Amino acid sequence: MAVVTPVELILLSRALLKIGEQSLPSPEGGRTGGERAVVVVMSDIYSHDGTTVTEVARRTGLPQSAVSVAVARLRTAGSVLTTPDPADRRRQLLHRNPALSARRREVAAADIRPALAAALPPDAPMPEILAALETLNRHLTPAAITHLTR
């Protein structure tokens, strides 16, 4: 069995990111760009209720300005709520909105198959590729990167 090299893995991850971005429905108003940051920030907030922009930036490695822009988009979409920090009224605490916004429903219902099919040659074994992606998704969760050390 051939082992994927680090370079191949990086290139694969880039292709998968592009397919994921292509699969996302355009937000209301058509504003696109920054989807990766929005997804990363949302995932972090959902895993760390009551967090702050500074803490999200530290954990994700994203610049604080990118986190602030992503939080603003998530608030507008109704996916994230904010409350004043009782320890520092200038700071906002970030929370998952327990109500499922229309945007979250739309993104959750998005289908990767059209973008995946467009990226693959016509004779690609789609069921096998989808099964491989499902396996990777089950085992390489967002928390997996927290186990890596450098």
Please give the model's pTM, rounded to 2 decimal places. Answer: 0.78
pLDDT digits (tens, 9 = 90+) for 29-73: 666 667 889 999 999 999 999 999 999 999 988 999 999 999 999
As a three-state string, the secondary structure of the chain is CCCCCHHHHHHHHHHHHHHHHHHCCCCCCCCCCCHHHHHHHHHHHHHCCCECHHHHHHHHCCCHHHHHHHHHHHHHHCCEEEEEECCEEEEEEEEECCCCCHHHHHHHCCCCHHHHHHHCCCCCCHHHHHHHHHHHHHHCCHHHHHHCCC
pLDDT digits (tens, 9 = 90+) for 66-125: 999 999 999 998 999 999 999 988 899 999 999 988 888 898 899 999 999 999 999 999
Domain assignments of the chain as residue spans, ordered by start? 33-121
Residue 30, pLDDT score: 62
What band does 150 get if pLDDT is binned at 50, 70 and 90? low
Identify the CATH class of 33-121.
mainly alpha
